[in-house]
Structure 1
Amino acid sequence: MEPVRMPLRVRYHECDPQGVVFNANYLAYFDMASFEFLTAVLGKSTGLNDFGVDFVVAESNVRFLRALRFEDEVVVSVRIGHLGNTSLVLEFELWRGEETVATGTNRYVFVNAETLTKQAPPEEIRAKLLEYQALGASPDPA
């Protein structure tokens, strides 16, 4: 299985008055890429809900390395950093060509889709995540 990669082009409304992507939009890029990740691993972005489970973001981190600007074409790469009993850490890298412009992580907690209380993911979901993790998907854009 190839690493999950999501291409995007920076839109005008994502930039601040200086023409640089506003920092909060990096988290939006991570969020969009997480849905692409779920589609790649589970077959559809709503695959968790089919099992009565969901995940919520418990922590986000971004490291800004280079500025992104309007109309830059980038690729967001995603891989599993950690799979715990009730949590999942996804690692993100944003690439402009061969240049890494930002890195980050989201720590998700699996929850019951109705009550939003923490719970372990169903074994079928866990098995698919472990299989993907075992493939050692590299985040590089190649």
Structure 2
Amino acid sequence: MSRFHFQHPIEIRYADLDPQGHVNNARFLTYFEQARVQYLIHLGLFSQDQSFLEIGIIIADAQVTYKLPVYFGTAARVGVRISRLGTKSMTMEYEMTDQKGQVYATGSTVIVTFDYKTHTTIPIPQAWREKITQFEQLAINNC
């Protein structure tokens, strides 16, 4: 998890399980979403007082790679990082582990900055770019 400067704890709920007794595959995207929102709050890009329509982002692509089953009671966490900043999109990567570092799943989402009033893509705001670059220590030429 050292590649991830931000980690969010995940509570595995009984309702997250499928008939096989492990976490249902669809729940992993929900865990990634929970961690993504907390990451945005942590960086000051979103506050709990804002409407989600004010965030100005939309998911263009999501992928999950499942490594191991996760069972009820697992003390899990999701590492989140932004690995790429484009002009109007960014790539977020995720890694779900237990407290010992055992990897259960990895994934990524492509996030597009979006104006919900005009329904068009927009450039990543400069303030966001600066906060993300500073937090992730991204090289300027990667932006």
Which TM class, normalised by the smaller chain length?
0.7 to 0.9
CA contact (8 A) 1:48 1:54 kept: no
What is the distance in 1 between the residues matched to 2:117 and 2:13? 35
The 1-side partners of 2:49 and 2:19 are apart by: 39
CA contact (8 A) 1:38 1:46 kept: no
Let me know the Cα RMSD of the aligned residues.
Answer: 2.3
Which of 104, 118, 121 matches 1:118? 121
Task: Report the Cα offset of residue 46 of structure 1.
Answer: 5.6
How many matched pairs?
Answer: 134
Letter in structure 1 aligned against 2:115: N
Shift of 1:116: 2.9
| Cα distance, 1:106–1:4 mapped onto 2, change above 3 Å | same
Give the 3-state SS of the residue equivalent to 2:117 in structure 1: coil
- 1:16 alignment partner, one of 11, 14, 18: 18
Structure 2 runs not aligned, ≥5 long: none
The answer to whether structure 1 residue 106 and structure 2 residue 109 are counterparts is yes
Q: Is the 8 A contact 1:48 1:125 kept in 2?
A: no
Give runs of aligned pairs for residues 1-142 of structure 1, distance below 5 A.
Answer: 3-42=5-44, 44-45=46-47, 54-96=56-98, 97-134=100-137
Structure 1: give runs of 5+ residues left out of the alignment. 137-142
1:48 CA drift (Å): 8.4
Q: Residue 15 of structure 1 contacts residue 22 of structure 1 at CA under 8 Å; is this kept in 2?
A: yes
Give the structure-2-normalised TM-score. Answer: 0.84
